[in-house]
């Protein structure tokens, strides 16, 4: 099976993991060590950030 290419940059993933409080797990065990709930919360946070960015872009038009 081919390895999937991530959409989020490594830096963004690390920043969100720090914000959500599980970056220590990532450092110890890698991304495969995080809980499914943490992964879901990370995606949710990234979507919120993207939506906020889009709405800010629309206001600047």
pLDDT, tens digit, 9 for 90 and up, residues 8-45:
899 999 999 999 999 999 999 999 999 999 999 999 99
User: Which range of residues forms the domain containing residue 26?
Assistant: 10-59
Structural domains counted in the chain: 1
Residue 2 domain flag? no
Report pLDDT for 8: 87
Tokens describing residue 28: 């110890």
Residue 1 domain flag? no
- Residue 22 CA: distances (Å) to CA of 3, 12, 58, 60: 24, 14, 33, 35
Tokens describing residue 27: 């450092």
Residue 43 domain flag? yes
Report pLDDT for 32: 96
């Amino acid at each position: 099976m081919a390895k999937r290419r991530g959409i989020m940059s490594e830096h963004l993933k690390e920043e969100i993991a720090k914000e959500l409080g599980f970056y220590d797990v990532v450092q110890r065990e890698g991304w495969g060590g995080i809980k499914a709930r943490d992964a879901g919360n990370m995606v949710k946070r990234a979507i919120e950030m993207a939506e906020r960015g889009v709405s800010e872009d629309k206001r600047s038009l």
